Amino acid sequence: MKPHAYDSVCVVTVTYGQRGHLLGQVVSALEDEGVTRLVIVDNGCDWNIAAWSREFPSIDIDVLQLPENIGSAGGFKAGIERGLELGATLVWLLDDDNRPEPGALGSLLQQYEQLQGKYDTSALAVCSFRVKIQQHLLSTWREDQYGKFFRVNIRDLTRRLRLRFLPGTVEQTTDEVIPRAHAPYGGLLLHRAVVERIGYPNEEFVVYSDDLEYTERLTASGGYLGVVLRSRIQDLEPPGHDKRLERKIVFPTLSKGDDLTVFYAARNHAYLDYRSGAKSKLYPVNRSLYLALLFIVALLRGRLHRFRLIISAIRDGESGRLGRIDSGRFV
Residue-wise pLDDT tens digits, 163-218: 666 666 556 777 899 999 999 999 999 999 999 999 999 999 999 999 999 999 99
Question: 239: number of CA atoms within 13 Å, CB side?
Answer: 11
* Structure-derived torsion over alpha carbons of residues 47, 51, 52, 54, reported in degrees to the nearest 10: 170
Nearest CA among 215, 189, 62 for reference residue 129 = 189
Q: What is the pTM of this model?
A: 0.89
Say what the pLDDT of residue 175 is: 82
Local structure of 98: helix, strand or coil: strand
What stretches of 132-223 adopt beta strand conformation (E)?
177-179, 188-191
What stretches of 216-308 adopt beta strand conformation (E)?
224-235
Say what the pLDDT of residue 253 is: 75
Say what the pLDDT of residue 23 is: 97
Q: Which CATH number fits domain 5-235: 3.90.226.10, 3.90.550.10, 3.10.105.10, 3.30.2000.20?
A: 3.90.550.10
So where are the chain's domains? 5-235, 242-330
Question: Do 290 and 250 contact (CB within 8 A), yes or no?
Answer: yes
pLDDT digits (tens, 9 = 90+) for 24-64: 999 999 999 999 999 999 999 999 999 999 999 999 999 99
Long-range contacts of 213-221 (CB under 8 A, 24+ apart): 213/182, 213/268, 213/271, 213/272, 214/73, 214/185, 215/125, 215/180, 215/182, 215/183, 215/188, 216/181, 216/182, 216/272, 216/276, 218/123, 218/125, 218/190, 218/194, 219/180, 219/181, 219/182, 221/123, 221/197
Where the chain has pLDDT below 50, the residues are: 1-4, 240-249
Q: Can you say whether residue 143 is alpha, beta or left, with left for phi > 0 and alpha for psi between -120 and 50 degrees?
A: beta
